[in-house]
Structure formats: structure tokens, C-alpha cells
Amino acid sequence: MDGTGQELGTLEELPPDYVDQLTKQYAAPAWPSLRDIIPYDRPVCRTQPHIWRYADLRPLLMRAGELTPMEKAERRVLMLSNPGLEPAPFATAGIFFGLQLILPGEMAPNHKHSPSAVRLIVEGEGGTTTVEGERCPMEKGDVILTPSGLWHEHEHLGAGPMIWLDALDAPVVVPLEASYCVAGTPQRPGNQPDASQTRYRRSGLVPYDGLGRPANDYPLKRYPWVEVRAALLDMAAGAGSADPVHLAYVNPETGHECMPILGFSAIMLRPGEERRLPRRSASTGYLAVEGEGETEIDGTSMSWQENDVFVGPTHAAIRHRNGSSKNPAFLIQVDEGPMQRKLGYYEEFEITD
């Protein structure tokens, strides 16, 4: 039964010889399965609300460090695979999440690929990602871009494990048969600080020599968490108590979202704050950068702590609650908003109940 009360014709109603002839021509009638392609009112989602707890995954990631040397891994990553999407190793229909480990003295070799990756730094000190010759230090909470087609390699000269969450748009690029990689030779980065410390030190200021020229696609690769956290706290101080404290990571030259497919933003939940989001057409993933709380996605409640990762499907109802009445909590949000807006089908739905 469909939304108009009308039954669509089935395959069984058609003469078998007709269906046979169609099949031989590699063709098929759409109407028996039209509602699979365009269901009424809401997409059919296989992605389930799910949480990956850092306390459970960290020991397994450390074990990967013992079991598999860098030469055998290229990237030592545990893929966060949504139970509803198996066997595809994707966190949501649009987001690949991987937890990556490099150990002191190790190097993840230079390469570039068509999917874009973004690093959300979870733990450790002394690691760097070099992107097209720009060496970006990795500090907890930092967001570091390695966009499509740009050379990148990781190195760890510090002590202790270096761990981060990779967010890739691979679930979009792979099914479209456009995903591939090129192996490179080691980059030779200089010792100068990355652009977040120099040319793009402060929002609202851009290098004068770029005025009047086409904007750069990725002028800023690293968004230091110390700056983002301070900006959220200052935003909260100036905002009304009911206003969301939510900042998007953008290209400082254009003001547009920092990546073309996946969107990145940082949320602060005030002490004790509960926030209901409008349902949105994009799927969503979160990294809990600091604090603890509870998030309900389509009726599934998940309590999270620092470094936990959790996701929900497209069109989901989401409600966050900061579990502390004393301290703020901070989340980094990932979604396919930029892609959906470009393609013209991004939507937000009013909260009705």
C-alpha cells in the first residue's frame, strides 16, 4: 500500500514471457519497485543509531599496533562499521569513520587519493600530518584537512601513542566508482608553522595579496582546538541562554564550508543543557571532544564520554544532553550537509511534536 491508498502493479501481474523478454534486454519495469527508489515521506535507512566507546576500542587499536607493523598497514586504522550497513565498513551512509594509530618513530607513507579525509585528533602529542608540504602538528581536538588529490603523510616524533578519528567521504566516492589512490615519495616539509599560526592566524583577516584573485580552495588546513574551544566559550558568554552555541569550520577566504562533501562543526553544550535539533536530511556523526552526556537519536539513547563516537541516519530526530551540571561539553559534528546543499536536496524539518 502506498501513501495515496493506491496499489502499484506487481511483477507477478505481468505475463511471464514479457518479463522474460525484458530481462533478456537487461531492462525492468519500475512500478513494481518504485517505492524502493522513492518511498513516501521519509527515506528507508539502513544506518542505525550507534555508539563506539573509546574505552572498548582503544585497547583493540593498541593491539593492532602490536600485531601489524606500519609496512603491513600503510594506514593503521580500525573502521567504525555501522551494524545496519554491513558488510560496508561505513559509519553512516555518507560518512567513513576510522580510528587511526601511529606509534613513536613511525611514519605513514605519503599518498594522495580522490576521497577527502579530515582528521579529528583524539589523543597524543608530537605527531604531525604533512599536507602538500605544510606540516601540521596534531593536538587533541584539532581538525586537519587532507582534501581530495592533496599529498599527505603522517609522522610521530613524540612519545606515547598518537590516535585520531579519520572522517572520509568514501561512502559517496566508492559507490560512484571514482575512488583511487596514488603512492608518493616522502615530502620534504620545512620547519615553518602551519597557516593557522601565520597567514590565517585570526578569523576576519586574510592576506592582502590574495584580494581580487580567485579564492584558494583550502588555504587553511588546520583548525586548532584551543582556538575553537575559546571561540565557543566566548560565543556562549554573548548568546542568549536558549541560543545554540555551534560554530562551523569554513574556508577563511570564502566563508564556505571547509570541505565539499562532508561538513564539520563544533558544538558546546552548556552545563546541564539539553538541546533538540530539527530533523535534517543529512546523516550525522559526533566525536565527544570533552565532557560527558547523553544523546537520543530516533528513540535510541546513548550515553557518551570523552572520545566516544556516535552516529545517526538521515532524517533522524536528535536530542543532546550535557550530563554535567558544572562543566560544558564539546562535540565535533560531521554530516553530508555541504554535498546535499550543493545538490539541492538539503532540508531541515520543523520540530512538530
Q: What residues make contact with ligand GTQ under the rule CB under 6 A?
A: 75, 77, 98, 100, 113, 117, 152, 166, 168
The residue (of 77 and 288) whose beta carbon lies closer to ligand GTQ is: 77
CA 267 to chain centre: 14
How would DSSP label each residue in 75-116? Answer: S-EEEE--TTTTTS--SSSS-EEEEEEE-TT-EEEEEEESS-
The residue (of 74 and 243) whose beta carbon lies closer to ligand GTQ is: 74
The residue (of 138 and 195) whose beta carbon lies closer to ligand GTQ is: 138
Q: Which three cell numbers stand for residue 18?
A: 514479457
Strand, coil or helix: what is 1? coil
How would DSSP label each residue in 203-225? Answer: TT---GGGTTSPPPS-S--EE-H
The residue (of 97 and 252) whose beta carbon lies closer to ligand GTQ is: 97
The residue (of 158 and 323) whose beta carbon lies closer to ligand GTQ is: 158
Q: Cis peptide leading into 87, omega within 30 of 0?
A: yes
The residue (of 117 and 277) whose beta carbon lies closer to ligand GTQ is: 117
Please, what is the minimum distance in Å from the beta carbon of residue 312 to ligand GTQ?
A: 21
Contact 347, 279 (CB under 8 A): no
Beta strands across the sheet bearing 50-52: 50-52, 309-312, 284-290, 329-335, 263-269, 245-248
d(CA 320, CA 332): 13
Please, what is the minimum distance in Å from the beta carbon of residue 301 to ligand GTQ?
A: 29
The residue (of 115 and 291) whose beta carbon lies closer to ligand GTQ is: 115
Please, what is the minimum distance in Å from the beta carbon of residue 146 to ligand GTQ?
A: 6
Please, what is the minimum distance in Å from the beta carbon of residue 166 to ligand GTQ?
A: 4
Please, what is the minimum distance in Å from the beta carbon of residue 100 to ligand GTQ?
A: 6
Please, what is the minimum distance in Å from the beta carbon of residue 92 to ligand GTQ?
A: 15
The CB-nearest residue to ligand GTQ is 98
Q: Which residues have CB under 8 Å from 142's CB, separation 6+?
A: 119, 120, 121, 136, 222, 223, 224, 225
Q: Within a 10 A sphere around the Cβ of 72, how many other Cβ atoms?
A: 8
Please, what is the minimum distance in Å from the beta carbon of residue 78 to ligand GTQ?
A: 9
The residue (of 97 and 310) whose beta carbon lies closer to ligand GTQ is: 97
Q: Which residues have CB under 8 Å from 121's CB, separation 6+?
A: 127, 138, 139, 140, 141, 142, 143, 144, 164, 225
Residue identified by cell 616524533 is 157
The residue (of 171 and 328) whose beta carbon lies closer to ligand GTQ is: 171
CA 224 to chain centre: 17
